[in-house]
Amino acid sequence: MNEDKRKDMMYGLFAGMSNESLPEGFNEKVMLKVRKEAKQRKMRYRYLNILGYISGAIAVIALCLFALRYTGVSFPVNEYRDFVSFVSPFQMDMFNSPSFLFSLYIGGLALILLITDLMIRRHMEKA
């Protein structure tokens, strides 16, 4: 077979064939569809984000309830009643109280969630 297309008569004939003209307003119609698609994608991404946050929140609440039930950390009902003693940072016995353990637990969870959120965001940006 003649590998050199330029020496091939068929090539000359094909080169003589004209390109089809585009229908009127073709590119504009495509761009409209593309913009619509981009908008839908943005919305999908937003909905997925919201869904992610809701699922995350549900998972955390479930985890909290599970932990409160099985790890021995209890909600400091009595200490919350005495609000002033709870918020005062000068009470040294606070560090040994159930409220301190509870706050540490909530803070730890929040930190884990923030780090997870950051990692997911970075992963999604890369993708």
Partner 1 sequence: MCVYIFDMEKISDSDYIEKIRKGETKCFSFLLERYSVPVFSLIVKIVGSREDAEELTQDVFVKAFRSLSSFRGESKFSTWIYRIAYNMAISATRKKKKEFTAIDETMMLNVPDESEEILSEKITSEEQISYLERALEQLPPKDKGLILLYYKESKSMEEVAAITGLTVTNVKTRIFRVRKKLQLLIKMMEEKKDE
Q: Is 27 a binder of partner 1 (CB under 8 A)?
A: yes
Give the separation between CA 103 and CA 90, rounded to whole angstroms. 16
Residue 33 Cβ vs partner 1, minimum distance, rounded to whole Å: 5
DSSP 6: G
Q: 32-51: which residues touch partner 1 (CB under 8 A)? A: 33-35, 37-38, 41
Q: Is 57 a binder of partner 1 (CB under 8 A)?
A: no
Q: Is 11 a binder of partner 1 (CB under 8 A)?
A: yes
Segment near partner 1 (CB under 8 A), from 29-37, 70-78, 84-92, 109-117?
29-37
Tell me the DSSP string of 73-113: ----HHHHHSHHHHH-TT-GGGGGSHHHHHHHHHHHHHHHH
